[in-house]
Structure 1
Amino acid sequence: MSDAIKHECGLAVVRLRKPLEYYAEKYGTPLWGFFRLFLLMEKQHNRGQDGAGVGAVKLDMEAGQPYVFRARSVKSNSLDRIFRSLMRDYDRQVKSGNIHPEFVETVKKNFEFGAELLLGHLRYGTSGGYSQKVCHPYFRKSNWPMRNLLLAGNFNMTNTNELNERLVSRGQHPIFGTDTQTILEELGYHLDEEHNRLYRHFRDDEGLGGLENSDKISRALDPARVLRDSSQDWDGGYSIGGLIGNGDLFVVRDPWGIRPLYALVNDEVIAYASERAPLMTVFQKTAEEVREVEPGTVEVVKFDGQHSVERIREPKKLSPCSFERIYFSRGNDIEIYDERKKLGSALVPKILEAIDNDLDKTVFSYIPNTSEVAYYGMMQGLRRHRRAEVKAAIMERMRAGTLTEDCLDELITSNWPRSEKVANKDIKLRTFISQEKGRSEMVSHVYDISYGSVNVGDTLVCLDDSIVRGTTLKRSIIKILARLKPSRIFIASTAPQIRYPDCYGIDMSELGNFIAFQAMVELLRENGKSDLLEEVYHACVKQRDSRPEDMKNHVKTLYDCFSDDQISKKISELVTPVVPEWDGEVRIVFQTIASLHESLPNNQGDWYFTGNYPTPGGYRALNRAYINFFEKRTGRSY
């Protein structure tokens, strides 16, 4: 993705189903689960670089002994920092004699993360800033084990204000900041209610007290009921994991399936992650052994290791985020790898039309590196196309009796797709460039080009994952590619035009930043239709106080004034920079919605392309985003 955007947090959960002694004997270390957690997080490091956090709950600890732990960091290389810090503490405990690794009970007692329940989170900040206090997991403390709660997730709620108002109406005093805090308090409220109900029942109806009552509460506590009561009005995309102080664990996924979540369940371990491939790699399992958590369900692991799945929300129209497959999730999952190749191949007809089928005078490449898999698919599609052309020509000449060896040589060797790696990314330099001042000039040096890979007069086609703002294209990428002196530079995007804000986890909520929106506005002005911008503004203001489910997408009427090709042409003009000594053509080629859906049959969430939001809150976020644009306000719209 040439325009970096913040996105998609990562979740990791590990629940050991055997005593720590089992793992020490079988795998040589009582920290087997702890290491699995960090491996799961490392394999998902692409999902969050603004911070990391881990939490743990130990089972069967004596009264007075700590049993819930947390460590977080928002410094650079936060995951590595946490791991090294915890391992330094472990080594100190060994040197001091508090821990004897051969005696597992000393590990469990004296090392905070010598635990059976482990929770990890990688954060991309979309709200609440970047301080450690907003880093997951969040911790709600209590003297009662069943009221302690560690919470982490990959989610954004569109109706946080309403959820906070409900907390206030109960007499609570929530700290307004992030939707995570809101969800923590909502869950905490219902967890308290369930605990109090059970406490009174066992005390008053069965005459139990003390530890006997506490044990009964722990066994009877139903996390699924707590989640069902808490989540009925949640509007957004979410995959959430929680650890309760008594040793219960839960994960829950939104009923639209917007945010991904995968599960591995066997006799040794129960684990969850935001992506399937990390579970396969870390636990050495096949794809068939890792399943997707069903949308609208909660999975519970009780403190005794019993696992259950329960539906807590009515099924909705499934809308898994297509950006997960286009860009966010790592491409080493075989399904994602195959889908990205299909996305590249699906662009072939539009690319051939753009270059007038002149493969002899075209060089194909990709930029940035995350486009590589789709690039392979594009090249395969081009080669299939050319093979079909050659076969048809050979068959025609055979029928006419004019096929000769020279003719055959010409057919086979001419007009064959040419591919080159025209740019190489300097990762260290990219990391070095962190300040906005002077950044534009420095970014132009992030890529080294392969001089001589393009001939004078050639068309250069470069594949990109998606184009959001277009600023990086204009300020650096196209200028870099222009050094090769092609006659034309075509950027082919595996994603369609991004026209609408997201409100379910991706940090792209300001309409005015989208190059597709800018192009549409420019076309309205050029065609004397600027009044429509104000008409839509008044329509949005009029429905501002309506219920989200009654809102309409008025912004779509603006896009409907023009064809996709017209908007693409205007985008091409807007991203074309002034390059001294180069006056070539720049053109942007976008994926179609139909091709997107065909390539991603199981991930049909496309609201940022189509404006068809899966939840009512999405339309309210769009409404606010347009009002903010028209009133020249900045900031998130949800």
Structure 2
Amino acid sequence: MADLYHECGIVAVYHYGQENESPLVKDYGRNCVSQMIPRMLLDIQNRGQLAAGITTYKPNNHDLLLTHKNVGLVSEVFKMSRKEKYHKLMAQHCGPAAIGHTRYATCGKDDPSYAQPFERTHLEKRKWFAFGFNGQLANYGQLRDQIVSQGDFHLARETDTEILMHLISQEISLKSNISMKDLLWKISAHLDGAYNIAFMNACGDMFVSRDPQGFRPLCYADRDGFFAAASESVALSNLGFDSADIKDLAAGEAVIIEDGKLRVEEYRPAPRNSHCFFEWIYFANVCSRLDGRSVYLTRKMLGEELAKQETESKENAIVVPVPDTAKAAAEGMAFEMGIPCLEGLMRHRALGRTFIEGEDREEKAKMKYIPLPEVLEGKKVFLVDDTIVRSTTMKVLVEQILSRGKAAEVHIRVACPPIMAPCFYGIDMPDVSDLFAPRFTNGQLDLTLEIEDRMAKHFNANSLRYLPVSSVAKAINIDESNLCQACLTGEYPTQAGKQLYNLSLNASESCSNGSSPKENDSKRLVEGLAEPVLPPSE
């Protein structure tokens, strides 16, 4: 399994209808739907395990907006294992509307002040707001420098979320009674990258928005005056919404609730759709549907594509997935080939986020998975993984399957094309020089059998095969022109992404030539700096 992490997940709920109470909220009551937030965040915990939080709208309270957030898993932040403390916290956060957030950081530190939602208090209710953010601004560094250079502003945190807070605050201050749609129109003019937002102010207005290129998924449902939104559909279906109720928000669209009325509006036309293909392959909950496509069925089809290109003998062979996200692909491959799919590797359940983060990657990998010789001994093992990033984990797995598992052969099958470039849109992915595949390809995107054989020798495996890039769009059933596959092809859909990639390539070339990267290039890459890329402000 790849050591990759996502940039976050957002959720929102609002019982905006005043005529009657939705049956979906009978266990909470219309004025306490905010208490649904922790269970929704649990459903999308896969998107971030560093921190979590909630902001509740409390129209009859001294604190019109009330925020609780901290570092930790959702269950830890909301004290869910301690019944009395959990119920006390939920009683405090009883309200008709709320937004929630679960975080993994690609930008910023591991401390409570970086947890979301971010809240900005103010004497004017329209200027008092909170929001959660899913994504990553590729032009963060340039925006940060523009803000700081104005002299009157100070940024307390090194995170693009604070950049968003500043831009939102500025637009609200510049125009009294600005509409939610106009607010989104204004701030989006400055942004390059992925940015799904859940926003709520002290007037009780709310919006959830998807960026104009639709990098990250966002869905919503509305029934009987009860609205809910989440990064993934599983959080909505588990609330009781039928599949027919759950809709995907289109790129550049927002669900807006103002004055007790809900509407869906396009706030900025989409220049192109850039759905991140990795959501289906790796990140999303396997129970979810993203933009109408089942995550499970997509992964299963990727496995079937692996089977179709297989040339190795099936005699005495088994398919073994790397837990957990490769299971569906392994099942699809095994079914198509007509051989058993067995769990010859078990994840060490006691080693979660509490494992020492600074530990050596190889030692961590050795402890993370346990091979089962009862399953593996004497077998030809087709080892299916969802992707290979740095290669540390895969190298350890092959070694353990051969030595501890006593397998006869190991054939690595990757249900994804090779990762060739970093992500600047919300996935914590290494720089080019740290990626596995580019070490063998010299910039060549189409792998030859000779290249794959050299890769296999690196792992001491009998063979290695990747899926071709064309298999991704086929499995997801979306035209490749509507997918972001920049980490596979190096073709970035935004200007800031292209510039950061060029910096990454320059740094990698400097390393390969035996010299250190240029100091300024390295600094600019790490901080996300680029030449000005702001579109003209309307």
TM-score, scaled to structure 1: 0.74
- Kept in 2: contact 1:348–1:382 (CA 8 A): yes
Judging changes above 3 Å, is the alpha-carbon distance between structure 1 residues 270 and 518 closer, same or farther for their aligned structure 2 residues?
Answer: same
Corresponding position: 1:160 with 2:82: no
Deviation at 1:435, TM superposition (A): 4.7
Instruction: Tell me which residue corresponds to 2:218.
Output: 261
Instruction: Tell me which residue corresponds to 2:444.
Output: 559
Spell out the pairing of 1:353-364 with structure 2 (5 A cutoff).
353=311, 355=312, 358-364=313-319
Deviation at 1:479, TM superposition (A): 1.4
Judging changes above 3 Å, is the alpha-carbon distance between structure 1 residues 515 and 166 closer, same or farther for their aligned structure 2 residues?
Answer: same
**Counterparts of 1:20 and 1:131 in 2: how far apart (Å)?**
43
Deviation at 1:315, TM superposition (A): 1.8
Secondary structure of 1:368 counterpart: coil
Q: Cα RMSD (Å) of the superposition?
A: 2.7
- Kept in 1: contact 2:78–2:86 (CA 8 A): no
Instruction: Tell me which residue corresponds to 1:307.
Output: 262
**Counterparts of 2:469 and 2:527 in 1: how far apart (Å)?**
25
Deviation at 1:422, TM superposition (A): 1.4
Deviation at 1:495, TM superposition (A): 0.9
Deviation at 1:439, TM superposition (A): 6.0
- Kept in 2: contact 1:20–1:116 (CA 8 A): no
Instruction: Tell me which residue corresponds to 1:8.
Output: 7
Judging changes above 3 Å, is the alpha-carbon distance between structure 1 residues 74 and 292 closer, same or farther for their aligned structure 2 residues?
Answer: same
- Kept in 2: contact 1:447–1:480 (CA 8 A): no
Match of 1:482 among 384, 402, 405: 402
Corresponding position: 1:497 with 2:493: no
Judging changes above 3 Å, is the alpha-carbon distance between structure 1 residues 442 and 252 closer, same or farther for their aligned structure 2 residues?
Answer: closer
Spell out the pairing of 1:67-106 with structure 2 (5 A cutoff).
67-75=64-72, 77-84=73-80, 88=84
Instruction: Tell me which residue corresponds to 2:534.
Output: none
For residues 159-207 of structure 1, give each alpha carbon's deviation from its aligned partner in whole angstroms, at most 9, with x where no partner exists.
1233234435665413062111001110110011122xxxxxxxxxxxx
Corresponding position: 1:636 with 2:515: no
Instruction: Tell me which residue corresponds to 2:205.
Output: 248
Judging changes above 3 Å, is the alpha-carbon distance between structure 1 residues 512 and 89 closer, same or farther for their aligned structure 2 residues?
Answer: same
Larger deviation: 131-140 or 329-338?
Answer: 329-338
Secondary structure of 1:515 counterpart: coil
Instruction: Tell me which residue corresponds to 2:536.
Output: none
- Kept in 2: contact 1:148–1:244 (CA 8 A): yes
Spell out the pairing of 1:187-266 with structure 2 (5 A cutoff).
187-195=168-176, 217=177, 221-266=178-223
Q: Which amino acid aligns with 1:575?
A: F
**Counterparts of 1:374 and 1:254 in 2: how far apart (Å)?**
30
- Kept in 2: contact 1:621–1:637 (CA 8 A): no
Deviation at 1:274, TM superposition (A): 0.3
Deviation at 1:114, TM superposition (A): 1.5
- Kept in 2: contact 1:492–1:590 (CA 8 A): yes
Corresponding position: 1:574 with 2:450: no
- Kept in 2: contact 1:509–1:625 (CA 8 A): no
Q: Which amino acid aligns with 2:167?
A: E
Deviation at 1:300, TM superposition (A): 1.0
Match of 1:597 among 449, 466, 473: 473
**Long gaps (5+) in structure 2:** 511-515, 529-538
Instruction: Tell me which residue corresponds to 2:117.
Output: 137
For residues 135-177 of structure 1, give each alpha carbon's deviation from its aligned partner in whole angstroms, at most 9, with x where no partner exists.
1111122110000110111110011233234435665413062
Judging changes above 3 Å, is the alpha-carbon distance between structure 1 residues 81 and 419 closer, same or farther for their aligned structure 2 residues?
Answer: closer
**Counterparts of 1:15 and 1:439 in 2: how far apart (Å)?**
43
**Counterparts of 1:469 and 1:637 in 2: how far apart (Å)?**
22
Q: Which amino acid aligns with 2:458?
A: L
Instruction: Tell me which residue corresponds to 1:293.
Output: 249
**Counterparts of 2:143 and 2:76 in 1: how far apart (Å)?**
35
Instruction: Tell me which residue corresponds to 1:536.
Output: none
Corresponding position: 1:337 with 2:258: no
Spell out the pairing of 1:407-422 with structure 2 (5 A cutoff).
417-422=339-344
- Kept in 2: contact 1:53–1:79 (CA 8 A): no
- Kept in 2: contact 1:471–1:575 (CA 8 A): no
Structure with greater strand percent: 2
**Counterparts of 2:88 and 2:232 in 1: how far apart (Å)?**
34
Judging changes above 3 Å, is the alpha-carbon distance between structure 1 residues 375 and 145 closer, same or farther for their aligned structure 2 residues?
Answer: same
Secondary structure of 1:120 counterpart: strand
Q: Which amino acid aligns with 1:49?
A: Q
**Counterparts of 1:592 and 1:90 in 2: how far apart (Å)?**
48
**Counterparts of 2:236 and 2:112 in 1: how far apart (Å)?**
27
Larger deviation: 587-596 or 170-179?
Answer: 170-179
Larger deviation: 601-610 or 442-451?
Answer: 442-451
Instruction: Tell me which residue corresponds to 1:326.
Output: 281
**Long gaps (5+) in structure 1:** 94-106, 196-216, 384-416, 522-557, 577-584
Corresponding position: 1:446 with 2:446: no
- Kept in 1: contact 2:302–2:415 (CA 8 A): yes
**Counterparts of 2:344 and 2:391 in 1: how far apart (Å)?**
20
- Kept in 2: contact 1:15–1:116 (CA 8 A): yes
Deviation at 1:462, TM superposition (A): 1.1
Instruction: Tell me which residue corresponds to 1:52.
Output: 52
**Counterparts of 2:24 and 2:213 in 1: how far apart (Å)?**
43
**Counterparts of 2:503 and 2:136 in 1: how far apart (Å)?**
16
Judging changes above 3 Å, is the alpha-carbon distance between structure 1 residues 133 and 82 closer, same or farther for their aligned structure 2 residues?
Answer: same
Secondary structure of 2:437 counterpart: helix
**Counterparts of 1:23 and 1:455 in 2: how far apart (Å)?**
56
Instruction: Tell me which residue corresponds to 1:386.
Output: none
For residues 223-271 of structure 1, give each alpha carbon's deviation from its aligned partner in whole angstroms, at most 9, with x where no partner exists.
1111111111311012111111111101121111111100111223111
TM-score, scaled to structure 2: 0.87
**Counterparts of 1:250 and 1:563 in 2: how far apart (Å)?**
45
**Counterparts of 2:307 and 2:86 in 1: how far apart (Å)?**
55
- Kept in 2: contact 1:9–1:124 (CA 8 A): yes
Corresponding position: 1:174 with 2:154: yes
Spell out the pairing of 1:455-466 with structure 2 (5 A cutoff).
456=378, 458-466=379-387
Deviation at 1:508, TM superposition (A): 0.8
Spell out the pairing of 1:362-377 with structure 2 (5 A cutoff).
362-377=317-332
Instruction: Tell me which residue corresponds to 1:66.
Output: 63
**Counterparts of 1:336 and 1:274 in 2: how far apart (Å)?**
13
Judging changes above 3 Å, is the alpha-carbon distance between structure 1 residues 377 and 8 closer, same or farther for their aligned structure 2 residues?
Answer: farther
Instruction: Tell me which residue corresponds to 1:555.
Output: none
Spell out the pairing of 1:265-276 with structure 2 (5 A cutoff).
265-276=222-233
Secondary structure of 1:257 counterpart: coil
**Counterparts of 2:86 and 2:342 in 1: how far apart (Å)?**
50
Deviation at 1:278, TM superposition (A): 1.5
Aligned length: 507
Judging changes above 3 Å, is the alpha-carbon distance between structure 1 residues 504 and 437 closer, same or farther for their aligned structure 2 residues?
Answer: closer
For residues 379-408 of structure 1, give each alpha carbon's deviation from its aligned partner in whole angstroms, at most 9, with x where no partner exists.
22213xxxxxxxxxxxxxxxxxxxxxxxxx
Deviation at 1:322, TM superposition (A): 0.7
**Percent identity of equivalent pairs:** 22
Secondary structure of 2:268 counterpart: coil
- Kept in 2: contact 1:73–1:79 (CA 8 A): no
Secondary structure of 1:381 counterpart: helix
Judging changes above 3 Å, is the alpha-carbon distance between structure 1 residues 637 and 495 closer, same or farther for their aligned structure 2 residues?
Answer: farther
**Counterparts of 1:26 and 1:273 in 2: how far apart (Å)?**
17
Deviation at 1:20, TM superposition (A): 12
**Counterparts of 1:162 and 1:317 in 2: how far apart (Å)?**
23
